[in-house]
C-alpha cells in the first residue's frame, strides 16, 4: 500500500456506445443459437455494435468529452491521455493520439495500453501514480473497444459475447485524501495461460494476409471452460487480498464492480465473497463483454443509477487475455 499522502480520485466519468443494437434474436438469424441458450450461459440479452463507416475513436472521444464536462476540466488542462484498448482504429497512430486531436488537448501526452479486459484497471493504476508524483496533473483514462471488428460471426462460442463501446474517467488529486480516492491496487499477469484466449493474426508474427495462418486466427478465439476457471480463481484472490491488506472485511465493501465478461463468472464470484446482489453491479445484459470499456461503462452507470454513492468503498476487479488481471480499491 502506498504511503504517499497525495491520493488520486476520479473527478468525472463519461461513456458512449454505438446506437446499433444487436439482440440475441438477431443472432438467432446469423448463427445456430437461441435467446434462451445465450441468456442462460452468459446473461447477455443485447450488445452495441459499430456500423460500417464508424470507428471506435468516435466513441472514445464522445465519452471523454462527457467525462471532462462532468469533471469541470477543459481539454487544455489535461496532462496525459491513456487509452486502454486492443482494437484501436489503426496500429499507427494510437487511439490516444486520435482522442487528443478530437478533444483539442494539445498539451497532453498520449499513449495506448494493451492489457485486454484488464486494461482500464491497469490504466487507472498508472494514472494514480502520475497524479501522486505530479499532484496538479489531470489524466484522462479511456477504455474503448471495437470487438465486433475482431469477431467471427460464424463462431457461436464467441460471437454471442462481445460488444463495442467506450468509457472514460478524468483522474486528479483528491481534495479529501483521507475520505476519497484510490486506496490501493494490484496488477498481475500469467503469460503461461496465453493460449486460452488469442488473436494471432495481424501482428508481426503473422501479418495481415499471411497465408501461413488460417483465416479463423484473424478473429478472437477462446477456450471458455479454462477461462472460466482462471477468471473466478484470480478475481476472488484479488478481491480478498486488496480488502485484507487495507484493513477491510467483505462486509465493509459497498460495491463490487467486476469486469462484465459472463454473468456466471460474476455470480460465482459474488457467491464466493458472500455478497448480496445489491452489492455487485451488473450490466452485461445490455452491453455484453466490451473488454477494456467494461468497467468504466459499469462505473458510469452505477453512479448514474444511484447505486454508487459518495463515500462508498468500491472494488474493481478484472481479468483478460494474456492473461492479465488487476484490481483497484477506492473510496468514491
| Confidence at residue 1, expressed as pLDDT on a 0 to 100 scale | 42
Residue 151 sits in the same domain as residue 218: no
Statement to judge: residues 89 and 157 lie in one domain: yes
Q: Which three cell numbers stand for residue 109?
A: 501526452
Q: Is 259 a catalytic residue?
A: yes
| CA 221 to chain CA centroid, nearest Å | 19
* Whether residues 210 and 231 fall in one domain: yes
**Domain boundary, last residue among 173, 195, 227:** 173
Burial of residue 252, with CB atoms counted within 10 A of its CB: 0-12 exposed, 13-18 middle, 19 or more buried: exposed
**CA-to-CA distance for 266 and 86, rounded, in angstroms?**
23
Instruction: Point out which residues pair with 80 in neighbouring strands.
Output: 109, 139
Q: Is 56 a domain residue?
A: yes
Last residue of one domain, picked from the residues 115, 144, 173:
173
Per the domain annotation, does 122 fall within a domain? yes
Residues 132 and 238 in one domain: no
CB count, 10 Å around CB of 44? 25
Q: Are strands 164-173 and 139-146 parallel, antiparallel or unpaired?
A: antiparallel
**CA–CA distances in Å: residue 119 to residues 114, 115, 165, 206, 227:** 6, 4, 14, 24, 17
Do residues 190 and 167 both lie within one domain? no
Residues 193 and 295 in one domain: yes
Distance from C-alpha of 110 to C-alpha of 121, rounded to nearest angstrom: 17
pTM score over 0.85 = yes
Active-site residue 289, yes or no? Answer: yes
252 in the same domain as 188: yes
Catalytic residue among 24, 48, 83, 117: 117
From the list 83, 259, 262, 283, the catalytic residue is 259
Domain limits for position 168: 8-173
**In terms of DSSP H, where are the helices of the chain?**
24-28, 35-42, 56-71, 95-103, 119-133, 156-159, 224-245, 263-273, 284-287, 294-304
Claim to verify: residue 12 and residue 99 sit in the same structural domain: yes
- CATH code of the domain in which 143 resides: 3.40.47.10
Contact yes or no for 57/98 (Cβ under 8 A):
yes
Residues 132, 241 within the same domain: no
Task: Please list the helix, strand and coil fractions of the chain in percent, rounded to the nearest 5, in that order.
Answer: 40, 25, 35
Of the residues 119, 138, 173, the one at which a domain ends: 173
8 Å CB contact between 144 and 292: yes
Checking DSSP bridges between strand 255-258 and strand 313-320, what pairing results, if any? parallel
In a domain, 135, yes or no: yes
State yes or no: is 274 an active-site residue.
no
Q: Are residues 148 and 62 in the same domain?
A: yes
Total domain count, the chain = 2
Q: Which one of 24, 262, 283, 289 is the catalytic residue?
A: 289
Residues 208 and 268 placed together within one structural domain of the fold: yes
My answer on whether 311 and 205 are in the same domain is yes
98-102's contacts with Cβ under 8 Å and 24+ in sequence apart are 98/57, 98/60, 98/61, 99/57, 99/60, 99/61, 99/64, 99/140, 99/142, 102/57, 102/60, 102/61, 102/64
2 occurs within a structural domain: no
Tell me how crowded residue 4 is: count the other CB atoms within 10 A of its CB.
Answer: 14
Averaged pLDDT, groups of 10, the chain, 332 residues long? 76 98 96 95 97 98 98 98 97 97 97 98 98 97 97 92 98 90 97 92 80 83 91 94 97 97 96 96 98 98 96 97 96 96
* Joined grid coordinates for residue 292: 477494456
Amino acid at each position: 500500500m502506498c504511503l504517499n499522502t497525495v491520493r488520486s480520485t476520479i473527478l468525472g466519468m463519461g461513456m458512449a456506445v454505438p446506437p446499433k443494437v444487436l439482440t440475441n434474436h438477431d443472432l438467432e438469424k446469423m448463427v445456430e443459437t437461441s435467446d434462451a441458450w445465450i441468456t442462460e450461459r452468459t446473461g447477455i440479452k443485447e450488445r452495441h455494435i459499430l456500423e460500417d463507416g464508424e470507428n471506435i475513436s468516435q466513441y472514445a472521444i464522445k465519452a471523454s468529452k462527457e467525462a471532462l464536462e462532468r469533471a469541470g476540466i477543459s481539454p487544455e488542462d489535461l496532462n496525459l491521455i491513456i487509452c486502454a484498448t486492443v482494437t484501436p482504429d489503426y496500429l499507427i497512430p494510437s487511439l490516444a493520439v486520435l482522442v487528443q486531436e478530437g478533444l483539442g488537448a494539445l498539451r497532453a501526452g498520449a499513449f495506448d495500453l494493451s492489457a485486454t479486459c484488464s486494461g482500464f484497471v491497469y490504466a487507472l493504476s498508472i494514472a494514480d501514480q502520475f497524479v501522486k508524483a505530479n499532484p496538479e496533473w489531470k489524466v484522462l483514462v479511456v477504455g474503448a473497444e471495437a470487438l465486433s471488428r475482431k469477431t467471427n460471426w460464424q463462431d457461436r462460442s464467441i460471437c454471442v459475447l462481445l460488444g463495442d463501446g467506450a468509457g472514460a474517467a478524468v483522474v486528479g488529486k483528491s481534495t479529501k485524501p483521507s475520505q476519497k480516492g484510490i486506496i490501493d491496487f494490484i496488477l498481475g499477469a500469467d503469460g503461461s495461460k496465453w493460449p486460452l484466449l488469442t488473436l494471432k493474426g495481424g501482428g508481426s508474427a503473422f501479418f495481415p494476409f499471411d497465408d501461413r495462418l488460417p483465416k479463423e486466427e484473424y478473429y478472437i478465439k477462446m477456450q471458455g471452460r479454462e477461462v472460466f476457471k482462471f477468471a473466478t480463481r484470480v478475481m476472488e484472490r484479488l478481491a480478498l487480498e486488496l480488502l485484507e491488506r487495507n484493513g477491510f472485511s467483505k462486509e465493509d465493501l459497498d460495491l463490487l464492480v467486476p469486469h462484465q465478461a459472463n454473468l456466471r463468472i460474476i455470480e460465482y464470484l459474488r457467491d464466493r465473497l458472500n455478497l448480496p446482489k445489491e452489492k455487485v453491479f451488473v450490466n452485461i445484459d445490455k452491453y455484453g463483454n466490451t473488454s477494456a470499456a467494461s468497467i468504466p461503462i459499469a462505473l458510469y452507470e452505477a453512479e448514474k443509477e444511484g447505486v454508487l454513492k459518495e463515500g462508498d468503498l468500491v472494488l474493481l476487479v478484472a481479468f483478460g487475455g494474456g492473461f492479465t488481471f488487476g484490481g483497484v480499491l477506492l473510496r468514491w
